C-alpha cells in the first residue's frame, strides 16, 4: 500500500505547480506549491503514508464538517436542519448570490461559508471564546492529537482581509438568521479556519466519520452514527463546492476540501484519507490532491457508486 501511495504521488507531482496558492488570505501565499502528501487510516487500524504527510497547514473549510458535527451534538438533527439547509448550492464557497429572493435557512448549506458562519451561532458556550475552545477540543479528539493549535498568523491574516465573509455575516444578520454580534461570530469562524493540521490529523478525523463516531484505538463512541450519516451525505453533495458533481463522478466518496490545500476523504467503512497539496484549481480545491484521489479511487475501487 505504501508503495502504491509513493507511486501515485510520483505520478501526480507534476500537477502541484499547475495549481495556484490561495492569495485572498495573504498568509497562505507563503505555502510551498511543491508540497504533496497523503496519509491513509484503514478500518483494520493500519495506516500508510507518503510524501509531505507530516507538514502542517491550516484546516480552512475542512473544519466545516467538524463544526456541523458539534452543532448536531449540541442541538440534534431537527434543530440544526431547521436553521441551516442541506441542498448543494452549486456555487463557489463564498458565494453571496445564493438567492434572488429573501434569504431563507434552506438557502444555507453547512459546507459553504454563509452556512458555516451561521453554524458558529448554534455551538453552545457562554461566549464565542468558549464556543471556539469546544470546537478545538472536538477537533483534537477526532484527530487523536491533543497538540493541535491555531496558526495565529493565518488567523490574523484572515481576520484582517475577510471582508467577503463579513458581508456574508451581515447578510445573515439583516435577514434575521443570526442574532449575535457579527464580529464575535466571525472571530470564531476565522479562528476555526486557522486550526493547524497535518494529513494524519485529517485522515483520523475522516476515519471517525467512516466509522460512524467510534474511535479506532479505544472503540469509544464520540457521536451517534446518525450524525455521521448526516455529515457524510452533505460532504458527498457539497463538500467540494461547485466541483462536487465532478468529484462524485471521478472519485465517488464523501470529502471536504480547504483553501489551505487539504482534502479529507471519507471512504465509508473502509478508510479515512488526508491529502495536502496547496496548489488550488479554479474552484478552490487542491488540484494535485484531487488527481491523487482519482487514481487511488480507481486502483482501490473506492467509489461508493
Binding site for ligand GLU (CB under 6 A): 60-61, 93-94, 113, 158, 165, 193, 258-259, 284
Beta strand 57-58 pairing with 255-257: unpaired
Pairing of strands 255-257, 47-51: unpaired
Q: Of the candidates 3, 55, 240, 181, which has an alpha carbon nearest to the alpha carbon of residue 253?
A: 240
Partners of 262 in beta bridges:
276
Catalytic residue among 41, 86, 259, 267: 259
- CB distance 123 to 63 below 8 Å: no
Which of residues 94 and 201 has its CB atom nearest to ligand GLU in the complex? 94
* Annotation marks residue 241 as catalytic: yes
Q: Is 15 a catalytic residue?
A: no
- Nearer CB in complex with ligand GLU: 61/277: 61
Residue 49 vs 58, nearer CB to ligand GLU: 58
CA distance 43 to 122: 32
Min dist CB 258 to ligand GLU, Å, is: 4
Contact 50, 6 (CB under 8 A): yes
Known catalytic residue: 61?
A: yes
Give min distance, CB of 275 to ligand GLU, in A.
14
Residue tagged active-site, from 39, 40, 41, 61? 61
The CA distance from 252 to 234, in Å, is 13
Q: Does 189 qualify as catalytic in the annotation?
A: yes
Q: Is residue 230 packed enough to be buried (19+ CB in 10 Å), middle (13-18) or exposed (0-12)? A: buried
Tell me if residue 303 is catalytic. Answer: no
Q: Shortest distance, CB of residue 269 to ligand GLU, whole angstroms?
A: 27
Annotated catalytic residue within 39, 48, 58, 64: 64
| Of 61 and 232, CB closest to ligand GLU | 61
Active-site residue set: 61, 64, 189, 241, 259
Amino acid at each position: 500500500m505504501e508503495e502504491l501511495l509513493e507511486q501515485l504521488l510520483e505520478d501526480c507531482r507534476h500537477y502541484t505547480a499547475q495549481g495556484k496558492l490561495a492569495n485572498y488570505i495573504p498568509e497562505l501565499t507563503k505555502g510551498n506549491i511543491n508540497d504533496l502528501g497523503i496519509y491513509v487510516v484503514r478500518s483494520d487500524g493500519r495506516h500508510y503514508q507518503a510524501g509531505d504527510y507530516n507538514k502542517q497547514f491550516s484546516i480552512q473549510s475542512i473544519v466545516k464538517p467538524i463544526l456541523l458535527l458539534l452543532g448536531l451534538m449540541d442541538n440534534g438533527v431537527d434543530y440544526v436542519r431547521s436553521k441551516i439547509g442541506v441542498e448543494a448550492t452549486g456555487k463557489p464557497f463564498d458565494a453571496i448570490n445564493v438567492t434572488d429572493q429573501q434569504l431563507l435557512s434552506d438557502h444555507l448549506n453547512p459546507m459553504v461559508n454563509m452556512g458555516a458562519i451561521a453554524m458558529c451561532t448554534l455551538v453552545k458556550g457562554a461566549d464565542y471564546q468558549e464556543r471556539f475552545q469546544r470546537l478545538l477540543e472536538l477537533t483534537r479528539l477526532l484527530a487523536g492529537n491533543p497538540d493541535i493549535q491555531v496558526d495565529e498568523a493565518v488567523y490574523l491574516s484572515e481576520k484582517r482581509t475577510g471582508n467577503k465573509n463579513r458581508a456574508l455575516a451581515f447578510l445573515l444578520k439583516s435577514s434575521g438568521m443570526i442574532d449575535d454580534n457579527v464580529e464575535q461570530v466571525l472571530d470564531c469562524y476565522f479562528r476555526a479556519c486557522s486550526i493547524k493540521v497535518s494529513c494524519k490529523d485529517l485522515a483520523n478525523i475522516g476515519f471517525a466519520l467512516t466509522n460512524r463516531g467510534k474511535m479506532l484505538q479505544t472503540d469509544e463512541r464520540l457521536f451517534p452514527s446518525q450524525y455521521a450519516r448526516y455529515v457524510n451525505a452533505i460532504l458527498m453533495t457539497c463538500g467540494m463546492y461547485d466541483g462536487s458533481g465532478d468529484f462524485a463522478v471521478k472519485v465517488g466518496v464523501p470529502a471536504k476540501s480547504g483553501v489551505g490545500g487539504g482534502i479529507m476523504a471519507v471512504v465509508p467503512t473502509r478508510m479515512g484519507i488526508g491529502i495536502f497539496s496547496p496548489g488550488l484549481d479554479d474552484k478552490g480545491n487542491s488540484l494535485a490532491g484531487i488527481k491523487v484521489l482519482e487514481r487511488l479511487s480507481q486502483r482501490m475501487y473506492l467509489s461508493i457508486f
